[in-house]
Chain A
Amino acid sequence: MEIGFLKKIVSSLWEIKGKTKDNLSSLSDEKLIELFTTDGKNEEIFEEIFNRYANRVYGLAYRISHNQIDAEDILQEVFLTLFKKIDTFKGKASFSTWLYKVTMNASYMHYRAKGKKYESEISLENYAPYDENGTLMGRIKSKDWSDRPDEVLFSREALETIERAVNDLPEPYRVVLYLRDVEDKSSDEVANILGISVGTVKSRLHRARLFLRDKLSDYFYEWQG
């Protein structure tokens, strides 16, 4: 990619022509990337990609790093990679899958470069709400919060609680849950992004969800009465 072309894109990232932006926003990811990598390249395309994915890249980086400064560093690395290595996207998987893979790699490299270690790999492998006899007796009904009105269930406080609960998950579980239940990727896509089996994705997702449901039950029971 020529420097002159890159200069043109970067210098006009924030100067969007409304009409062109409208046209681009209606394109699929794949069509957008096709335009970006062929002679149809123009300065608005990168802006459109940024608008679609910057928040999601940052969100994944933040869920991995737990740190806003690290997440921003990772965001910058990912978009630099997008500039330099978009040609490595071959369309075998969706663009979003490719970009999430780039984000995962950037996150791990960022950690290595800073000499950081991941948090302890606490396993939720055996996490379950039932007792040794396989019953839930006395464990769930008394904390049933499903009939709370939406203004309580979806309050800012409740959302902050689930955000904290997600952050309390061990990293392997947290990333799977984020990609599946927040980003709405399929189990196959998550497996592809993380380089693990679909079975492992489902197993981690199952325990992560059980953990989150329990955390929310505690929250609604203890703080909402």
Chain B
Amino acid sequence: MNGKGRHMALCKDIVENIMDYIDAELDDKTLEELEKHAKDCPECGAFIRTYKKMLELTGKLRNRSFVTPEIRARLKEFLRSSLNLN
């Protein structure tokens, strides 16, 4: 489609425009054609739904805690020795 929306949308068009679709950056004509296709295509409907859930799930990784009290203590000691402090 190349963002021009000049032919019937394919599943490929949904996939290749998914980022702009999610970010609401598609022009009206392209958006209309993609949504028409997605409405009639159960595969694309499922693709969009699972894509959105995947983004939600990926965002949860931000909450993972890495730095333990032990790592913190070793950092303190490293800085102390590297800066020649007592």
Residues of A whose CB lies within 8 Å of any CB of B are 3, 6-7, 10-11, 13-14, 50, 54-55, 58-59, 62, 71-72, 75-76, 79-80, 83, 128-130, 133-141, 143-147, 153-154, 158-159, 162-163, 166, 177, 181-184, 202, 205-206, 209-210, 212-213, 216-217
- Chain B neighbourhood of A163, CB < 8 A: 61, 64
Query: Which of B42, B54, B78 is within 8 Å of A141, CB to CB?
Result: B42
Among B43, B65, B71, the one with the most A-chain Cβ atoms within 10 Å of its Cβ is B43
Q: How many A-B pairs with Cβ below 8 Å?
A: 154
**Given A58-B67, A136-B11, A136-B44, 18 other A-B residues pairs in contact with their CB atoms under 8 A:** A10-B76, A13-B76, A54-B71, A54-B75, A59-B66, A75-B67, A76-B78, A128-B12, A130-B11, A137-B43, A141-B43, A153-B53, A159-B60, A159-B64, A181-B59, A202-B19, A206-B19, A209-B55
Q: Is the CB of A146 within 8 A of B79?
A: no
Q: Is the CB of B43 within 8 A of A183?
A: no
A80 to B59, CA, bound (A): 29
Q: Is the CB of A205 within 8 A of B19?
A: yes
Interface majority SS (helix, strand, loop, mixed), chain B: helix
Show 10 A/B contacts (Cβ-Cβ < 8 Å), sorted by A: A58-B67, A59-B64, A62-B66, A140-B46, A140-B50, A177-B58, A206-B19, A209-B55, A213-B54, A216-B57
Known contacts: A135-B12, A136-B47. The answer to whether A83 contacts B83 by CB under 8 A is yes
Among B16, B41, B46, B55, the one with the most A-chain Cβ atoms within 10 Å of its Cβ is B46
Q: Is the CB of B80 within 8 A of A166?
A: no
- Chain B neighbourhood of A13, CB < 8 A: 76, 79
